[in-house]
Chain A
Amino acid sequence: MDRLNQALSRVADALFYVALLAGGLMMLHITVDVIARTVFHHPLPGTGEITASYYMIAAAFLPLARVTLWDEHVSADIFVSAMSPRSRRISEVFVDLLSIAYVSAFVWQTWLSALSKTRRAEVWEIFGGYLPIWPTRWLLPVAGVAMVLVLILKLVQRFTPKTNPMAGEAD
């Protein structure tokens, strides 16, 4: 169990680090484009499109597994604090199952989308040519699968009380 936990947390971290890279590149690329067009009168073609379709997609989806692992999703707590421990437990399991179902559907659908866009070799028009978009379509199902696995792990851990869900993050 712990080993699984660790492996999963490593996957989540790896995806997260790619998102960090995307964030840094986003800052750099836009800044370099501004300088290039202001000083050298030569904007970098496709800056807006690359930023939107590559960096933003990585930034928006790749951290999801880690956000889930660390329980950082945006949520509110209206009834749960007033519940008995037993019904709280039931509600937690219900929420876990609902999340697993939703994110699984997300994986399934974005997978289909990635497949069909890849077959067609999806592109966007930029100055001087076309920018391939289909590769970033795959980031969605990949990020989604990692998130579902984390959710399943968390659910399993609710029934194996001794394990610390953050064990993999102890360091």
Chain B
Amino acid sequence: MDSLIFGLVTLAILLTLIGLRTPIGVALGVVSVCGLAYVRNWPIALSILRETPFSFAASWDLTAIPMFLLMGAIANQSGISSALFRAARLWFSALPGGLAVAANMASAGFAAACGSSLASAAAMGRLAIPEMLRAGYDKGLATGVIASAGTLSALIPPSILLVLYGVFAEVSISRLLIAGVIPGLLTGAAYVVMIILRCKMNPALAPRLAATDLATLKQDRLSALRETWPLALLILGIIGGLYGGIVTPTEAGAVGAALALAIAVLQRRMTAGRLVEALKETMSVTAQIFFVGMGAVMYTRLLSLTGVSALLVDLVGAWAGDPLLVVIALSVVFLVLGMFLDPLGIMLITMPVFLPMMKALDLDLIWFGIIVVKYIEIGMITPPMGMNVFVVKSVVGNQVPMWTIFRGVGWFLLCEVVVMTLLIAFPGITLFLPDLMQ
């Protein structure tokens, strides 16, 4: 029981520090080092600070993080996102809530080039929200769709969160990435259905376009579609490279970024300035991720050294007649954490605790990874801490109050209830593609 109390105390201190707006990396590191000094001694405690940061960052597997980020940043800088939205607008505007559907579809498409949901929400928000507001769309719908559809980026590969999960859970990253495809598309489809139904029942949410406008839209459809070739080429290049045995999933990030750069140069859309912008965005986020990550690794060491991990496994083993109960309990934990914490923080704080439990229960770790990432992404659109909502808020400025965005997101959260129920009840939805791959 001692180690359980110890674990809970460290967790309480950790959450208190984070609540005081301590950088999460500092909070994790301080708790780990002091915790180790308490249970062992200072020389041992300091030794993890000496060795962990370098050995965590000097990792070939984790190169996928900066490289997936870079691919998305280059794709955005070179106009892939705007071409996508233009095409989606022309094709879907005729539907009820057409612009919102278009924004959703464009986000799903951009997700195939972009590894982070924040980056996706920022890129699509700048393009689509002004357009929707101009067309007289409900402000909640216009902003909610962007915040929510941004989360598709973490499921549809490439995905930073899935790579991180794969490294911590020691499961095949290529299988994980493939596993995200169907849940991502399913989520996107659920959003589309909800938007169309809502706008059909309440046309005031999304004013329909005039018949004359619709006619002109149709003329440009094919040419706009042709403008999306860079994304198509990028996706084909990566899939071809993977299936042709030319690149490994880890290398796919770097080669994808180089391919995106080559395409942009070919289009004459890439300047040195834009490349530097893309690199700046990428490297800044990379360092943020690793600063938290090394703290999380130290916290893992502390929990396993003090027997907390083993104890949790025993606890679960004792009462887990039904793994479904465990998953539901974890769902509650994730939803609560997701209200307050940053996505990366949640992932890195929970992995050391939950992974041994999942392994002990013999649950499929690929499936669990998708569930975890789904919950983390849901946390990014729930109040009071909703990172995607904050990004959208920063895009719209004073035009839309924060609360309106959260209200707009509410409908998308309803879709998530359905999607999560399906994903948990039928693991086959998630595992179909990765099983096919073997």
Contacts and interface: CB of A to CB of B under 8 A. Distances in A.
Interface string B284-325: 101111111000000000000000000000000000000000
Contacts of B22: 75, 95, 98-99
Interface stretch (A1-9, A61-69, A159-167): A61-69
B62 A56 contact: yes
11 contacts: A19-B287, A30-B63, A31-B258, A56-B57, A59-B57, A74-B289, A75-B18, A76-B24, A76-B341, A95-B22, A98-B26
A12 to B, nearest CB: 11
A138 B287 CA distance: 17
B287 A59 contact: yes
Most buried by A among B254, B283, B342: B283
Contact of A91 (B20, B58, B276): B20
Contact of A64 (B15, B247, B287): B287
Contacts of B247: 34
Nearest to B260: A27
Contacts, number: 184
A45 interface: no
Contacts of A56: 57-59, 62-63, 66
A140 B54 contact: yes
A14 interface: no
Task: Describe A's contact surface by its main secondary structure.
Answer: helix
A61 B287 contact: yes
Contact of B290 (A33, A61, A76): A61
Contacts of A74: 23-25, 288-289, 291-292, 342, 344-345
B255 A79 contact: no
Interface of A: 16, 19-20, 22-24, 26-31, 33-34, 38, 48-49, 51-53, 55-57, 59-64, 66-67, 70, 72-80, 91-92, 94-95, 98-99, 101-103, 105-106, 108-110, 112-113, 136-137, 140
Given A27-B254, A51-B60, A73 B291 contact: yes
Interface in B245-264: 246-247, 251, 254-255, 257-258, 261
Nearest to A99: B26
B20 A94 contact: yes
Size band of the interface chain B makes with A: 35 or more
Nearest to A62: B287
Most buried by B among A23, A26, A28, A66: A23
A82 B17 CA distance: 15
A22 B290 CA distance: 15
Contacts of A99: 22-23, 26
B63 A61 contact: no
Given A34-B246, A75-B21, 7 more contacts: A24-B275, A30-B251, A74-B291, A74-B292, A76-B340, A95-B17, A95-B26
A61 B25 CA distance: 13
A75 B58 contact: no
Contacts of B63: 26, 30, 51-52, 55-56
Contacts of B283: 16, 19-20, 22-23, 59, 63
A52 B255 CA distance: 16
Contacts of A24: 275, 279
Interface of B: 15, 17-26, 29-30, 33, 46-47, 49-51, 53-54, 57-60, 62-63, 66-67, 70, 241, 246-247, 251, 254-255, 257-258, 261, 275-276, 279-280, 282-284, 286-292, 340-342, 344-345, 385
Most buried by A among B15, B21, B22, B275: B21
A-B CB proximity, top 8 nearest: A30-B254, A73-B23, A78-B19, A63-B287, A60-B290, A60-B57, A109-B50, A31-B258
Nearest to A105: B49
Contacts of B246: 34, 38
A60 B21 contact: no
Nearest to B385: A76
Contacts of A63: 283-284, 286-287
Most buried by A among B15, B29, B57, B289: B57
Contact of B53 (A19, A34, A75, A140): A140
B255 A59 contact: no
Nearest to B246: A38
Contacts of B19: 76, 78-80
B30 A60 contact: no
Contact of A67 (B21, B255, B288): B288
Contacts of B21: 75-77, 80, 91-92, 95
Most buried by B among A30, A53, A106: A30
A106 B290 CA distance: 14
A89 B256 CA distance: 46
A105 B15 CA distance: 22
